[in-house]
Amino acid sequence: MINYLYIFPEIIITSALCFIIVLDLFLPNKLKYISYYLIQLSLIFCAYYIYSHISYLTNNNSELYDTSIFSNIFKIFILLSLAMIFYYTSVFLKYFNIFRTEYFLITLFGLLGMMIMISSQNMLLLYLGIELLSLSLYSVIAFNKNSLFSSEAAVKYYILGAISSGFLLFGISLIYGLTGSLNFNEIFIHIASFNITNGIDNVQVIGLLFALIFILISLSFKFGAAPFHMWIPDVYHGSIITTTLLLSTIPKIAVFVILIKLLTNVFSGLFLFWADMVIILSILSILIGNIVAISQTNIKRMLAYSTIANIGFILLGLSVGSIIGYKAAMFYTLTYVVTTIAAFGLLSQLICRNKPIENISDLSGLNSTSPFTAFLLMFILLSYIGIPPFIGFHAKLFIIQSLVETNNIPLGIFAVLMTVVGSYYYLRVIKVIYFDEAKNVLASTSKLYITGIYVLGLILLGLLPDVLGQLSQYSISNFFNT
């Protein structure tokens, strides 16, 4: 007997989707906002449902679908972030008169994909989730059909995404061939039964290593870690800014959860091998992200490279291989997501010569035209650098602390030095905002009250880092106890 109540959150989203698609057809253009509010409502309701039933959901002991506290915390986080992203998206689309309910609906499919990814306990279910997410992202990127860049970005992402899915499938089939199972727990038990330390001469271990490498390549493609980062700058650049906001935030959370589940649980027997791979990925990401960002003039491309560098930091936390590192990585991921929502959200509300912000120089003299906006943007950028007392500092602090505690001091020094390199391109934006003469008339698409409150919340989070800290502590320790 299958108890469908455990997947009630997913059912809420699916039924909201089906209902709103049909409803939207019958709404006249003036009333389309009703479907937008319904979508927001369903997101909030779904998050509330998970929150209020979290102890019930954890009773689920399905082999296929995991609804533990760990997954549910991430689901709530994704739902709330998506609500915030949808707010910015609707403001942006309305201002430029390209508001379509389909945009939100397609994204909801992606949301469903992410929820499936987070909960999957089975390789095929994982693949299903990733594909659902990717397909909806392809169409969202191509949403702005009048723009050449947009179509180029979509095609590029589609082709590369297809290749990476191929890698993933190949890895999964190797695993199935070697272990005879697709279930996470069974694969884990099977791998644990090998004596890995005995060397690589065992053919099965070599096969498993290949599978691990293929899966890791595919996931680092989705995550955006160097050297599989090539699509990020182009896609970020090509899509409209709110799509960039979407792309750069919540899919990363979902992939992070998968990485935690696969690396620290399923493949924990192969730690010796994947730790080195993750370190290489993270060093490359931090190097490429921070150095290439210096030469960017387009702010979306700059933030794309900054994303790559941030991903590197998250991987650095994962590579530690102890709970303290995973906690730090989770804290970093959450921090990165809330900061990025603030950054892109704020930028999406600014317009220069009746166009969205494109280049860094568009922001020049923001301080003289709108001091409050300049202040908010400065806080966000300082948080990205990791200057205390902003939240980004604590994120970096936890990562470096976990490295120091596991005697990885050279890596820690590398990380802090790259922070200094990275500070340069953020400072350049602050310089443009504060020290340059105003060349353009900047305006905002709407009042910045919500953004203001959101950024002030970020500053409070920086003063009280325990809020996110305890959350990561709680969920990670829960994950490893069950």
Partner 1 sequence: MLYLDIPLLSLLIWTPLIGGVLLLFIDQKNDQLIKISGFTISTVTLFISIVLLINFDTSQYLLQFNEKHIWIYNLDINYHLAVDGFSLLFILLTTTVTSLIILFNFSESRQQNNKYIALFLILEGLLLGVFCAFDSILFYIFFEAMLIPLFLIIGIWGGPNRVYATIKFFIYTLLGSVLMLVALLYLSFKANSFYILDYYNLVLSLDTQILIFLAFLIAFGIKVPMWPVHTWLPDAHVEAPSSGSVILAAVLLKVGGYGMIRFLLPITPDAGFYLNNFLIPLSLVAIIYISFVAIAQQDMKKLIAYSSIAHMGFVTLGIFLVFNTIGQAQDIQNISHIGLQGAIMQMLSHGLISAGLFICIGIIYSRTKSRMIDDQSGIGQVMPVFSALMMFFLLANSGLPGTSGFVGEFMVLIAAIKNNIMYAVLASTTLVLAASYSLWLGKRVLFGEVNNDNVASMKILRFDEFWPLLILAILVILIGIKPDLLLNISEESSMNMIKIITNKY
Rule CB under 8 A: say whether 397 interacts with partner 1: yes
Rule CB under 8 A: say whether 393 interacts with partner 1: yes
Binding to partner 1 by CB under 8 A, coded x per residue (else -) over 300-339, reads: ---------------------------x------------
Rule CB under 8 A: say whether 361 interacts with partner 1: no
Closest C-alpha among 341, 159, 158 to residue 248: 341
b/e map of 148-172 (b: 16 or more CB within 10 Å)?
Answer: eebebbbebbbebbeebbebbbbbb
Cα–Cα distance between 428 and 290 in angstroms, integer?
A: 13
CB 196 within 8 A of CB 272: yes
Binding to partner 1 by CB under 8 A, coded x per residue (else -) over 171-200, reads: ------------------------------
Cα–Cα distance between 44 and 50 in angstroms, integer?
A: 10
CB closer to partner 1, 222 vs 327: 327
CB 194 within 8 A of CB 178: no
Only one of the segments 28-36, 77-85, 277-285, 386-394 lies at the binding site for partner 1 (rule: CB under 8 A); that segment is 386-394
For residue 428, give both structure tokens: 């350049």
Rule CB under 8 A: say whether 417 interacts with partner 1: yes
Supply the minimum distance, in Å, between the C-beta of residue 441 and partner 1. Answer: 19
Rule CB under 8 A: say whether 457 interacts with partner 1: no
Closest C-alpha among 138, 136, 166, 131 to residue 152: 138
Among the listed residues 409, 443, 453, 460, the single contact to partner 1 using CB under 8 A: 409
Rule CB under 8 A: say whether 384 interacts with partner 1: no
97's torsion region: left (phi>0), alpha (psi -120 to 50) or beta? left
Cα–Cα distance between 138 and 133 in angstroms, integer?
A: 9
- Site size for partner 1 (CB under 8 A): 35
Peptide bond into 28 cis (omega under 30): no
Which segments within 16-97 are labelled E, that is strand?
none
CB closer to partner 1, 41 vs 416: 416
Among the listed residues 389, 438, 457, 480, the single contact to partner 1 using CB under 8 A: 389
CB closer to partner 1, 100 vs 431: 431
For residue 341, give both structure tokens: 């929502």
Rule CB under 8 A: say whether 424 interacts with partner 1: yes
Secondary structure (3-state) at 365: coil
Supply the minimum distance, in Å, between the C-beta of residue 466 and partner 1. Answer: 5
Rule CB under 8 A: say whether 423 interacts with partner 1: yes
Cα–Cα distance between 397 and 392 in angstroms, integer?
A: 8
Among the listed residues 19, 56, 435, 480, the single contact to partner 1 using CB under 8 A: 435
Which residues are at the interface with partner 1 (CB under 8 A)? 327, 367, 371, 382, 385, 387-389, 393-394, 397-398, 400-401, 404-405, 409, 412-413, 416-417, 419-420, 423-424, 427-428, 431, 434-435, 465-466, 469-470, 473
